[in-house]
Amino acid sequence: MKKNKPKYTQIIDAAVKVIAENGYHSSQVSKIAKQAGVADGTIYLYFKNKEDILVSLFQQKMGNFIQKIEEETNSQQTAVEKLLKLIEKHFEQLTADHHLAIVTQLELRQSNKELRLKINEVLKRYLTVIDQIIEEGIQDEIFRNDIDKRLVRQMIFGTLDEAVTNWVMKEQHYDLVEQAGAVHDMIVRGLTYR
């Protein structure tokens, strides 16, 4: 499998850096090749084109992240605790990788319809993890069952995403992870019975 070859990851990591620093539209494949220390032609052994690099890097990073999140949340007892872990990991992961945070919050917001649909298919894997936590909270009668689950997911993801984008726009200069508790608290209060 191509994806297990070290050069695949090497190109992906180079792409994250180049795209974060130059923006997607100004990141020529040759720039990514140079950063990765491979010949231009080598890139095309692994990727069809620049679009494919963008979608693949999101896929790869998301795959790793989801695996981590599932391990972490499975060790938690309740939906409320799982949601806290998810928020913490979301903020920690992006704090740990300065370039990846710029890519997820600014560069993956492409408006080209075809490309955006591919990006959103990858995002869906994460939204499904959120959906499972919501579902569990409702089953266990911790979360209210009188709100549309899609709206609940949109509130959770929308809140996290907006908090992260604000932090990225502010050059990541304050501590995001430290706010996980407060964000969790606001969300959970909106979802539970009084």
Ligand X SMILES: CCCCCCCCCCCCCCCCCC(=O)SCCNC(=O)CCNC(=O)[C@H](O)C(C)(C)COP(=O)(O)OP(=O)(O)OC[C@H]1O[C@@H](n2cnc3c(N)ncnc32)[C@H](O)[C@@H]1OP(=O)(O)O
Helix, strand, or coil (residue 143): strand
Judged by CB under 8 A, does residue 116 bind a second copy?
yes
Nearer to ligand X, 3 or 170 (CB): 170
The candidate with the shortest Cα–Cα distance to 93, out of 122, 116, 72, is: 72
Residue reference for tokens 């917001």: 109
Residues that contact a second copy, how many (by CB under 8 A) = 37
Q: Which parts of 52-182 are beta strand (E)?
A: none
Q: Contact between 108 and ligand X (CB under 6 A)?
A: yes
The region of 49-57, 58-66, 91-99, 175-183 touching a second copy under the rule CB under 8 A is: 175-183
Distance CA 76, CA 139 (A): 16
| Number of CB atoms found within 10 A of residue 111's CB | 6
By a kind-dependent CB cut-off of 5 to 8 A, residue 186 interacts, out of a second copy, ligand X, none, with a second copy
Q: How many CA atoms lie within 13 A of 112 on its CB side?
A: 11
CA distance 55 to 9: 14
Tokens 């695949």 found at: 8
Q: What is the nearest approach in angstroms of ligand X to the Cβ of residue 40?
A: 25
Q: Is 189 in the site for a second copy (CB under 8 A)?
A: yes
Nearest to a second copy of 23, 63 (CB atom): 23
DSSP for residue 135 = H
Which of the stretches 7-15, 47-55, 120-128, 138-146 binds ligand X when contact is defined by CB under 6 A?
120-128
From the centroid of its chain, how far is CA 97?
12
Which residues lie near ligand X (CB under 6 A)? 58, 61-62, 65, 90, 93-94, 100, 104, 108-109, 119-120, 123-124, 126-127, 148, 150-151, 161-162, 165-166, 169-170, 174, 179
Which residues lie near a second copy (CB under 8 A)? 23-25, 106-107, 109, 111-112, 116, 120, 147-148, 150-152, 154-155, 157-163, 166, 169, 179, 182-183, 185-191, 194
